[in-house]
Chains A and B, each alone.
Chain A
Amino acid sequence: MTHDLHEIEDCFQGVIPSYLATCSADGEPNVVCVSILHLLPHNRVGVSCQFMNKTLRNLRETGLAQVIAFHPWTLGEYRLDLRFERLLESGPMYDKMSATLAGVASQSGLKGSTFALASVAEFEVVSWCKTTPERDSAQPPKASADPIAQLDRISAAMEAATDLDALFDRTFEALACELGLAHSFLLLADGVEEQLYNVASHGFEQARFGAEIAIGEGLYGTAAARRLAIRTGSMRRERLMAQAVARESDHADPTYLALPGLPGAESSLAVPVVRGERCLGVLCFQSERAGAFSESLEKTVTIVARHLSAMIGLLGANAKDVELSAKRGPVGGRALATRVKFFESDGSIFIDEEYLIKGVAGRILWRVLSNYVADQRDEFSSKEIRLDPDVGLPAIKDNLEARLIALRKRLIERAAAFRIEKTGRGRFRLEVSRELLLERRT
């Protein structure tokens, strides 16, 4: 009988590559380097099979293998004797590993099927042992050992929210307090599920509200597209590859606003917020520590994401109750003019030549700014925004409340000369501190 492999769960985060040895029927050993060894249920491990023809031949001939895995904190080596069971080419575990590979490849700028997952080799762990004793002093601090109590406190914090804005803030504060997730943001899907936009951010130097990515793009976009959590624990190499790709792609987009990010992020976790078949968005986390996000943590956050999905449904269903609370002091006088440019083609808005936001959020803002200048109106209702065909909200699932939250936060982040304030049920006000010069371009 072997010990529970979860005792060495950190070895399965891909921080340090593992080595896999096999042997042919005629006694010829073979060794390959494996970037991530996956911990599977029921005393099993999995290896993604790419570029491993000889290994697979050997496994079919003898069925025996050995892997040496490394603990990222203690640098202890673990020797696992394995028995090959089967090749997985579909199913939940295959989908999960395929999504992880696709997300990492996309994040690194790798396109096409070169790094597509062919299959997963599943092994029974016959026995495992530590080849060298661990250096206990290198152990990182462990989180609370009672995840149920943590979830209870997170859930209670979320349920106290009375609007979406507070829900997002409370969720991130609770995740930081209970699980140590200090750097996080929430991407919400647009109504047609083509784009994700940043609506809430916690712990980053630059919050970057309103930043967008396509569903399917990068680690977070892939998690949304596949509706599966993706975790990576060693982003240094992936980041170097992405930087190299960026250097080769010299097509600067003035409306490009990067997602929030730690400059030295080593670990990333993306957990989709799903309701039925629909992906509402993605909870995103980063850490500067390699291998920071364990499988257990991923499961805990997945439960939080399910709760968040239900809460979004509950609070979002009553659109008139949306709260757009102010977090900034009164704006100043109207001594200077601010030039606002709007581009019809993509809904982008520039303030004094600096990009602010685009898409539906940009069209909403242009709509209220135009009314303010032309009609001296500063009071607006959610209903009139919904009914305005120029805004371009989808007929159903328009996410207007979340878009207004992202827009309000983006205006505060940019310290713009105007902001939006909630004034009542389904109503908001545009507050302007300077004269506005509007310019519309096709």
Chain B
Amino acid sequence: MAAIPPELRAWLRPGLAGMIATADASGRPELSRIWALRVDPDRDRIEVYVQRTVSVRLLQNLAHSERAALNAVEVDTYRSRLFKGRCALSAAPIDEALLEACLTAMGEAFSSVGMPDGAVSTILSHADAPRDMVGLVLEVDCVFDQSPKPGAGARL
């Protein structure tokens, strides 16, 4: 049975915000914002982009453990899903068209909840080498409903 059902594949589109976390050997977690996201049409696999310069510890943790958790949020509804699985560096080059589409859609989503115009560019531009992204691939083995409500955290 597929870990990512068809309706969830359709939901995983540009415009979602989110964070991915890994952990070190002591159990100390490390978070990093995702800037782009796409789901593999044929496999339970999600590719995400994170900024390299602010993800040093997150990437180092992958040498210790491949386990990662990805929280994706629909900004204007708080509908949220948590994907867990094995994570590794992507072998594919950064897809600039995907990145651009996701940044544009994310900016529109942020504007819809009152964040200032250009918020995405502002956040991005603060980092050294803002467009220096690292691709990560998450092989998803379980998904959870993380929308804020009674029963949040239930496995889907």
Chain A residues with CB under 8 Å of chain B are 16, 19, 21-25, 27-33, 35, 50-54, 61-62, 64-68, 75-77, 79, 81, 114, 131-135, 138, 234, 236-237, 266, 290
Point out the residue from B28, B80, B126 that lies within 8 Å of A133, measured CB to CB.
B126
Point out the residue from A25, A31, A77, A114 that lies within 8 Å of B20, measured CB to CB.
A31
Point out the residue from B67, B116, B148, B152 that lies within 8 Å of A29, measured CB to CB.
B67
Establish whether residues B114 and A31, one from each chain, have CB atoms under 8 Å apart when the complex forms.
no
Interface size class of B (residues with CB under 8 A): 35 or more
A-B complex: 10 closest residue pairs judged by Cβ atoms: A132-B126, A51-B152, A21-B29, A62-B27, A31-B71, A23-B23, A21-B21, A29-B21, A29-B69, A23-B27
- Name the A residues within 8 Å of B54 (CB-CB): 77, 131-132
Establish whether residues A29 and B22, one from each chain, have CB atoms under 8 Å apart when the complex forms.
yes
Distance between Cα atoms of A33 and B70 in the complex (Å)? 11
Distance between Cα atoms of A51 and B126 in the complex (Å)? 33
- Name the B residues within 8 Å of A52 (CB-CB): 152-153
- Name the A residues within 8 Å of B84 (CB-CB): 28-30
B14 CB to closest chain A CB (Å) equals 19
- Name the A residues within 8 Å of B29 (CB-CB): 21-23, 29-30, 64-66
Establish whether residues B148 and A135, one from each chain, have CB atoms under 8 Å apart when the complex forms.
no
Point out the residue from A54, A133, A290 that lies within 8 Å of B153, measured CB to CB.
A54
Distance between Cα atoms of A135 and B80 in the complex (Å)? 29
List 8 A-B residue pairs with CB atoms under 8 Å apart, sorted by A's residue number: A27-B65, A29-B22, A65-B29, A75-B116, A75-B119, A132-B127, A135-B126, A290-B114
Q: A21-B21, A29-B21 are in contact. Are A64 and B80 (CB under 8 A)?
A: no
Q: What 0/1 pattern do residues 78 to 115 of B give for CB contact below 8 A with A?
A: 10101010000000000000000000000000000111
Q: A29-B23, A75-B122, A81-B28 are in contact. Are A51 and B114 (CB under 8 A)?
A: no
Establish whether residues B122 and A66, one from each chain, have CB atoms under 8 Å apart when the complex forms.
no
- Name the A residues within 8 Å of B27 (CB-CB): 23-25, 27, 61-62, 64
Distance between Cα atoms of A411 and B114 in the complex (Å)? 38
- Name the B residues within 8 Å of A30 (CB-CB): 21, 29, 69, 82, 84
Establish whether residues B122 and A68, one from each chain, have CB atoms under 8 Å apart when the complex forms.
no
- Name the A residues within 8 Å of B151 (CB-CB): 51
Establish whether residues B152 and A21, one from each chain, have CB atoms under 8 Å apart when the complex forms.
no
